[in-house]
Amino acid sequence: MSSVAQTQKIIFQQEWGQVLAQSLRSSQQLLTALELQATDFPKGLSQALSFPVLVPRPFVERMGKGDPRDPLLLQVLPLAAEDQLHPSFSLDPLGEQESNVATGVIHKYHGRVLLLAASGCAINCRYCFRRHFPYSENRLGRAQWQSALNYIAQDTSITEVILSGGDPLMLQDERLAELVAGIADITHVQRLRVHSRLPVVIAERLTDQLTDILTGTRLRSSLVLHVNHPRELTPLHAERLAKLRQAGVTLLNQTVLLKGVNDSAQVLIELSEQLFNHDVLPYYLHVLDRVQGAQHFDVTSAEAYTLYQQMLAQLPGYLVPKLVREEAGQAHKTPLHAF
Ligand code: SF4
């Protein structure tokens, strides 16, 4: 059995892996599950062959039946609008291939480095800024892990390692523990940050073993969830996130502002309140990265700033995320100001 097949076999033996294995993998499966027809989408659907449909069933269960405008559905269903390319939307909107300094390593910002710990995800989000990223050239096997760790060890300015992907929590816990131990061996690294959407769509991924990995290290650990809509959170999230928080893991959230999904002050305010009820602090509200295929999700900067002002007027400051745009070549994310 190949190592990829072996890894999949181990993942599918775990509860969250079994849920993942049952995911829906076509638009037709999604439409059937939600009692919709292709004709409910007058502008049509996309074939999306290069970035196929992938949606775990628990996420589908949070969608409304018979509603073609459901905000969770719109994040995963390929619409024909994806195929209408726009000149200001590119394959690599953040210029990441420039910062791809070693296999699986992106070094953009001072003091922080991104490790692409896994190339797959549990869900294919239509707005994903890495939907065209050359993952096949950045697959981290054990040998590449070591060269990625060597890169970090040689740069003493790096104090924080960010596990990204794909989705880093696609790694089985044993491999994740091994990677975290390798990072903790580098004395100048102080913090570990894990960015993941997997636990949002499959809450069972928040295992006790994951808590142990994030707390059983000398590194200060944070988990940044990627929740875009309050309906994505469930009672199981509340239970599992409370355990992580009580164990000492800092829980943050980043949201992508998406037309038709969450471009409403009411939805964003409810999201911030729900996150806090789940022990998670809102961290970033990102305007869309202008990636080819996601143009129909774009919210203008002026509209985004208006929404942000409405949040400021109605929420305590600690529940208002920073409104930012990421720009290729910049030394940090760019805060959005008045227009
Ligand atoms: S989970 Fe994140 S990396 Fe994966 S497809 Fe969605 S947005 Fe992209």
Which residue CA neighbors atom 3 of ligand 1 most closely?
A: 166
255-277, pLDDT tens digit by residue? 999 999 999 999 999 999 999 99
Query: Is 78 in contact with 46 (CB distance < 8 Å)?
Result: yes
Say which residue the tokens 């009820």 belong to. 277
Calculate how far, in angstroms, residue 82's C-alpha sits from the geometric centre of ligand 1. 16
This model's pTM is above 0.85:
yes
Calculate how far, in angstroms, residue 56's C-alpha sits from the geometric centre of ligand 1. 13
Which residue CA neighbors atom 7 of ligand 1 most closely?
A: 128
Calculate how far, in angstroms, residue 178's C-alpha sits from the geometric centre of ligand 1. 23
Report the alpha-carbon distance of residue 164 to residue 218 in Å, rounded.
20
Task: Find the angle CA(84)-CA(44)-CA(230) to the nearest 5 degrees.
Answer: 90
128: tokens are 């994903």
98-127, pLDDT tens digit by residue? 778 888 899 999 999 999 999 899 999 999
Query: Is 71 in contact with 262 (CB distance < 8 Å)?
Result: yes
pLDDT band of 339, cuts 50, 70, 90: low
The whole-number pLDDT of residue 200 equals 98
Calculate how far, in angstroms, residue 130's C-alpha sits from the geometric centre of ligand 1. 7
Ligand 1 pocket, residues with Cβ under 6 angstroms: 121, 123-125, 128, 130, 165-167, 197
**pLDDT for 216 beyond 80:** yes
Q: For 310, what's the count of Cα atoms within 13 Å in the CB-facing half-sphere? A: 15
Which residue CA neighbors atom 8 of ligand 1 most closely?
A: 128
Which residue CA neighbors atom 1 of ligand 1 most closely?
A: 197
Q: Write out the DSSP string of 107-160.
A: --STTEEEEE--S--SS--TT-TTTT--GGGG---HHHHHHHHHHHHH-TT--E
Report the alpha-carbon distance of residue 113 to residue 151 in Å, rounded.
10
Query: Is 219 in contact with 189 (CB distance < 8 Å)?
Result: yes
The whole-number pLDDT of residue 9 equals 62
Domains of the chain: 3-83 (no CATH), 96-335 (3.20.20.70)
120: tokens are 């797959």
Pairing of strands 250-256, 281-286: parallel
